[in-house]
A and B are shown apart, each in its own frame.
Chain A
Amino acid sequence: MALQASKIQVGDTHTQKLTDDLSRTQIVQYAGASGDYNPLHSDEIFTTKVAGYPTVFAHGMLTMGMTGRMVTDYVGDGRLTAYGVRFTRQVWPGDALTATATVDAVREENGQSLVDLSVSTVNQDGDVVVMGKATARIDP
């Protein structure tokens, strides 16, 4: 079901839990599906001994993809016209992530109703890991 302009207001929010305990296996799954095999995401020896990080961490694009589920669940299938985020903090195995969309504007462009959303995902400490914007076509 797509959103309806007549039924949403600026300031409305939609929140979804994305994971309670991000697994190393899901990060590997994302490496395989996306084709990004950077060892920083799966190779503990390389990441700690060579690159100097405490442990492996998620691809930013995995967090963006997981957050995208929250956005498309909210606006409906095939409705997105724009989606962008900044990666503000690393996501580590074991993190719990929660994503929220907030309605910034409901507007019309060339006869098409659109919603502009602010999007952010936070970890278990409330720290923002990605933040950005999305725009979607909605029903009148």
Chain B
Amino acid sequence: MAAKKFPIEAGHIMMFARAVGDPNPIYHDADAAADTEPGSVIAPPTFYQSSAQYDPDYFLRPKIGEPWFGSGKNPTGIPPKRTGGDGGTGLHAEQRFEYFRHVSPGETLTIKTRPGKTWERQGKRGGNLTFSENITEYFDESGELVVRATGVGVRTEKVVESD
């Protein structure tokens, strides 16, 4: 599941750039950006991941009126959502972006997702590891592919310890 439409908004880009600690004016100052080579505010390289904001079913966002597995005063006992690809105790193993063009506020991208490869490996600390790719393609209003994102999730049989 993913968002079908991703409106690119200046305020969202500004907040995203702040969150990743990037003070470059091209992400928040339209006047300064006009004097740069791209000629306008553009999205930072990993901004496309935030299309999750527009996915009505995104499983890592609390839904109004629905139980949430994160804690309130105490743990809720609601089973954790499955993460990291297609399920299990999962983590994000790898992420790749291919840029055919960098997008600007005012555009609306159309998103298509498809599963990629799946493979297994024996982990040193985490037992058996299952990797699965998810490919997300972002198209502009003229139907041109602007960005392809490939995420790799890994499911482990037990919690990975950090040394």
A positions within 8 Å CB-CB of B: 2, 18-19, 26, 29-30, 32-39, 43, 45-46, 49-54, 59-62, 64-66, 68-69, 71-73, 76-87, 89-90, 92, 132
Contact A65 B75 (CB under 8 A): no
Q: Which 4 A-B pairs have the closest CB atoms?
A: A84-B96, A65-B20, A39-B70, A78-B38
Q: Does A33 lie within 8 Å of B50, measured CB to CB?
A: yes
| Cα(A65)–Cα(B71), bound, Å | 27
Quick check: A37 and B61 within 8 Å, CB to CB?
A: yes
Q: With an 8 A cutoff between CB atoms, is B64 at the interface? A: no
User: How many B residues face the partner with a CB closer than 8 A?
Assistant: 48
* Residues of B participating in the A interface, judged by any CB pair closer than 8 Å: 12, 15-16, 18-22, 24, 26, 36-38, 42, 44-46, 49-50, 52-53, 55, 58, 60-62, 69-71, 74-75, 80-81, 83, 91-100, 102, 150, 159, 162
Q: Residues of B contacting A36 with CB < 8 Å? A: 49, 52, 60-61
Contact status A51-B159, CB under 8 Å: yes
B95 touching A50 by the CB < 8 A rule?
A: no
